[in-house]
């Protein structure tokens, strides 16, 4: 009996440990692709002005944020000497020890901002899906790094290459890998996640950089994506277009921020065109406009025009950082601005802040490499604590002494962030 009790206690301890460290970051913007970090027992304030690192490892340049799954950290980068290549790396999450790297030739053509790959590696069912800036798609064994299948999407789909390359992170739904590529006759495509074979093609729209998401509408699962020309809802199994709302580009396709779902609302924010709120009908597969606000049409330019940062909706309010790095709070009902704040990051063209929600707080990672713990409420921006995590570097942007534009990952009560020289890990758990 004593042995049985001891065994039960050991199993309970193991399960408790696993549950306590269960949160991972296996894809773009986290487990549900919504920028929410649900772990608890974290720092309430930083102990010093510089966050102690658990480890750091050298990597090369790139825009892709790290992802974390099954005790491994994944990130991509670019090397130009002795020849142009893109690389996929895998590290042990505890020590930073390199586990494997996969390198392939990749010459950049007609791509501005050429620091490296954009899309985060997607981990799903022991497979790592990597999409490069020129459209090189690989399915790798997540543990060993061996190639299971690969596709040259640029040549196969005759991609009309966006000026900033292929950037939208892949999405897994059922047996399919769904991508925005901007092919000659297919802006969105679905590929069998196991075999790499084509399953469907949809739309002739121009591509932009916004990652597709899955939402529930009228008791159906739909893929929602911002293309260069429209906001669309599709059947994930067939690619059939259920609805389309015109949101055509101005100057050039600009959409980078990920679409945001809150209950039956869909928020899109674009640097050129401002913010658009749609309502998803729950009785039919259709949408209606709630409001559209842009700075050219409102007093004092008080409108949210997101570039790299993705906003979020919390109850009756929208919080986001515009393309100058100004934090803004809007009313969901009307889009009217309640406040703006310029202290989270220095105001600059394309200044970036990534917003990650955790319980009643928001963790902000800005382009100066700082991590900020704050509360965002209708009353304003309340900064609780701020500390330096990683230095800006200049390959991503050769201005203002560099930037840290890549989205960090949050897993196992740790943060993982990269610049153009290193990938770092820091412990954020309360001691």
- In the chain, how many domains are there? 2
In a shared domain, residues 157 and 75: yes
Q: 14-18, 31-35, 154-158, 290-294: which range is least confident on average?
A: 14-18
Give the pLDDT score at 9: 38
Please report which helix (H) or strand (E) contains residue 244, including its range: strand 241-246
Q: Does residue 335 fall inside a structural domain? A: no
Task: Give me the CATH number covering residue 215.
Answer: 2.40.10.480
Rounded CA-CA distance 192/127 in Å is 13
Q: Does residue 229 fall inside a structural domain? A: yes
Rounded CA-CA distance 412/177 in Å is 26
64 in Cβ contact with 76 (< 8 Å): yes
353 in Cβ contact with 362 (< 8 Å): no
Q: Which of 104, 132, 166 lies at the terminal end of a domain, its last residue?
A: 166
In a shared domain, residues 81 and 141: yes
Percent of the chain with pLDDT over 70: 95
Q: Is the pLDDT of residue 11 over 90?
A: no
Residue 300, SS3?
helix
Please report which helix (H) or strand (E) contains residue 266, including its range: strand 265-270
In a shared domain, residues 106 and 193: no
Q: Does residue 341 fall inside a structural domain? A: no
Among residues 156, 190, 158, 152, the alpha carbon closest in space to that of 172 is found at 190
In a shared domain, residues 156 and 194: no
* Host domain of residue 118: 64-166
Give the pLDDT score at 13: 38
Q: Does residue 306 fall inside a structural domain? A: no
Q: Residue 308 has which token pair?
A: 């790299």
Rounded CA-CA distance 365/184 in Å is 37
Reported as a pLDDT band with limits 50, 70 and 90, residue 352 is very high
Q: Does residue 409 fall inside a structural domain? A: no
Q: Which of 224, 249, 274 lies at the terminal end of a domain, its last residue?
A: 249
Give the pLDDT score at 18: 41
Q: Does residue 263 fall inside a structural domain? A: no
Average pLDDT over residues 196-205: 98
In a shared domain, residues 118 and 180: no
What global pTM score does this model have? 0.94
pLDDT tens for 51-110 read 999 999 999 999 999 999 999 999 999 999 999 999 999 999 999 999 999 999 999 999
In a shared domain, residues 149 and 75: yes
In a shared domain, residues 182 and 238: yes
In a shared domain, residues 80 and 173: no
Q: Is the pLDDT of residue 289 over 50?
A: yes
Average pLDDT over residues 157-179: 97
Q: Is the pLDDT of residue 43 over 90?
A: yes
Rg, Å, the chain Cα set = 21
Q: 196 φ, ψ to 5°? A: 80, 10
Average pLDDT over residues 417-430: 98
In a shared domain, residues 85 and 159: yes
Q: Does residue 255 fall inside a structural domain? A: no
In a shared domain, residues 221 and 244: yes
Reported as a pLDDT band with limits 50, 70 and 90, residue 10 is very low
Q: Does residue 154 fall inside a structural domain? A: yes
| Alpha helix ranges (H) inside 136-191 | 153-157
Reported as a pLDDT band with limits 50, 70 and 90, residue 114 is very high
Q: Which of 166, 187, 202 lies at the terminal end of a domain, its last residue?
A: 166
In a shared domain, residues 130 and 188: no
Among residues 287, 169, 268, the alpha carbon closest in space to that of 217 is found at 287
In a shared domain, residues 145 and 97: yes
Reported as a pLDDT band with limits 50, 70 and 90, residue 251 is confident
Q: Give CA separation, 182 vs 157, 163, 167, 198, 224, in Å.
A: 8, 12, 11, 15, 16
Q: 220 φ, ψ to 5°? A: -125, 150
138 in Cβ contact with 150 (< 8 Å): yes
Give the pLDDT score at 16: 36
Reported as a pLDDT band with limits 50, 70 and 90, residue 22 is low
Reported as a pLDDT band with limits 50, 70 and 90, residue 3 is very low
């Amino acid at each position: 009996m004593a042995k049985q009790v001891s065994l039960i206690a050991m199993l309970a301890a193991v399960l408790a440990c696993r549950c306590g460290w269960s949160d991972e970051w296996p894809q773009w913007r986290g487990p549900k692709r919504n920028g929410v970090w649900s772990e608890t027992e974290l720092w309430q304030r930083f102990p010093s002005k510089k966050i102690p690192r658990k480890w750091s490892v050298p990597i090369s340049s790139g825009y892709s944020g790290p992802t974390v799954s099954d005790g491994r950290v994944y990130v991509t980068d670019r090397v130009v000497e002795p020849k142009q290549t893109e690389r996929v790396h895998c590290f042990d999450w505890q020590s930073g020890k390199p586990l494997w790297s996969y390198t392939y030739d990749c010459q950049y053509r007609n791509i501005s901002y050429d620091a490296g790959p954009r899309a985060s590696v997607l981990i799903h069912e022991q497979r790592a899906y990597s999409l490069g800036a020129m459209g090189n798609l690989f399915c790798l064994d997540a543990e060993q790094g061996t190639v299971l299948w690969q596709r040259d999407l640029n040549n196969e789909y005759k991609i009309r290459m966006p000026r900033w390359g292929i950037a939208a992170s892949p999405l897994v739904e059922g047996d399919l890998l769904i991508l925005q590529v901007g092919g000659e006759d297919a802006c969105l495509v679905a590929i069998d996640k196991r075999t790499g074979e084509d399953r469907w093609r949809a739309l002739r729209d121009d591509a932009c950089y916004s990652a597709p998401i899955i939402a529930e509408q009228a008791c159906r699962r739909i893929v929602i994506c911002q293309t260069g020309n429209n906001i669309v809802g599709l059947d994930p199994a067939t690619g059939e277009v259920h609805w389309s709302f015109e949101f055509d580009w101005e100057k050039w396709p600009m959409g980078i921020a990920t679409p945001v779902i809150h209950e039956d609302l869909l928020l899109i924010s674009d640097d050129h065109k401002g913010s658009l709120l749609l309502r998803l009908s729950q009785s039919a597969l259709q949408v209606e406009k709630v409001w559209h606000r842009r700075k050219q049409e409102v007093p004092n330019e008080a409108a949210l025009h997101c570039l790299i940062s993705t906003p979020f909706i919390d109850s009756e309010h929208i919080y986001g950082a515009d393309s100058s790095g100004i934090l803004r709070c809007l009313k969901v009902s009307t889009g009217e601005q309640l406040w703006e704040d310029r202290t989270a990051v220095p105001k600059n063209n394309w200044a970036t802040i990534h917003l990650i929600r955790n319980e009643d707080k928001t963790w902000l990672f800005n382009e100066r490499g700082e991590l900020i713990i704050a509360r965002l409420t209708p009353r304003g921006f309340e900064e609780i604590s701020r500390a330096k995590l990683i230095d800006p570097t200049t390959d991503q942007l050769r201005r203002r002494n560099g930037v840290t534009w890549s989205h960090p990952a949050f897993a196992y009560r740790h943060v993982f962030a990269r610049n153009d020289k290193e990938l770092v890990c820091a412990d954020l758990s309360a001691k």
